[in-house]
Chain A
Amino acid sequence: MQRVTDMQKVTVERTYQARLGELWDLWTTKDGFESWWAPEGFRVEVHRLEGQMGGALHYTMIADSAEMVAAMTQMGRPTSTESRGTFTQFQPQTRLALTHHIDFVPGVPPYDSTMAVEFFPSGSRVRMVVTLDPMHDEQMTRMAEMGLNSQLGKLDRRFAS
């Protein structure tokens, strides 16, 4: 069994055949961020992205497929949601941390969620390591809000039987 304290952190990493600057730009420029951040069925419109220490990030996540619009409507959720964040660490092409301000969950006091990204170049490849705290993560919270908790409900029923 995983240590309880370790459950707070999830690390996801990839190694890309690319220049370090190309990866960095995908995190720290408007066009770059918009090109990959949104999940399937959504797109992101970045209103403000200040690639610097303390810089602001402001974007809207918009359901852009008919299926996702229908699904969100069925769940009684808005089809677009604004998010705001800040670059709380910014060491160019080395490390960044992005802190999201989670203030969209009804009944839950606002809180901050931080993800850290580190870049390790080696020859023509770059390893990118993303460290997340699922307990306080925007994506996690959004999933919970969208009703994916029903999966836990199914498990509850399985264990109850």
Chain B
Amino acid sequence: MQIDPFEALADPTRRRIVEALREGERPVGDLVDVAGIHQSGVSRHLRILQESGFVAMRPDGQRRLYSLRPEPFLQLDDWLAHYRKTWESRLDRFGDALQRKRKAPCKE
């Protein structure tokens, strides 16, 4: 099942993992230290981040190395741009309402 990008980042532990991966590819052991939870928990969060497209994994001998993929972040940027535009429009309407109010005769 495709997980919504916002849902994927809604969890603070997953955000800590993503923040850590911004510095580059890392093995799961490093991420356990950053996340502050047991490795099984980190693995579960990594699986969710993989399923939502945020994280890629490649084997390196005995290790598994995790890294960020750019695509979901582009999606989030697009989504946030749309969201911001919605609010910019709302504040435009706020300004229009203010103008109308100023032009209306004073009730006092």
Contact = CB atoms under 8 A, between A and B. Distances in A.
Contact of B10 (A18, A135, A152): A135
- The 7 A-B residue pairs whose C-beta atoms are closest, nearest first, are A36-B97, A35-B97, A36-B93, A12-B87, A159-B71, A36-B94, A14-B91
Interface residues of B, number: 37
Contacts, number: 94
12 contacts: A4-B22, A5-B15, A7-B9, A7-B76, A16-B95, A35-B97, A35-B100, A36-B96, A152-B78, A155-B71, A155-B75, A156-B75
Interface string A117-156: 0000000000010101011010110011000110110011
Of B2, B10, B73, B93, most A-chain CB atoms within 10 Å: B93
Interface of B: 2, 4-6, 9-10, 15, 18-19, 22, 71, 73-80, 82-84, 86-91, 93-98, 100-102
Contact of B86 (A22, A32, A39, A128): A39
A132 to B, nearest CB: 7
Interface residues of A, number: 38
Interface of A: 1-5, 7, 10, 12, 14, 16, 18, 22-23, 25-26, 32, 35-37, 39-40, 128, 130, 132, 134-135, 137, 139-140, 143-144, 148-149, 151-152, 155-156, 159
A23 B78 contact: no
Given A23-B98, A159-B71, A151 B87 contact: no
A61 B107 CA distance: 28
Contacts of A2: 77
Contacts of B97: 26, 32, 35-36
Contacts of B75: 152, 155-156
Contact of B101 (A35, A130, A148): A35
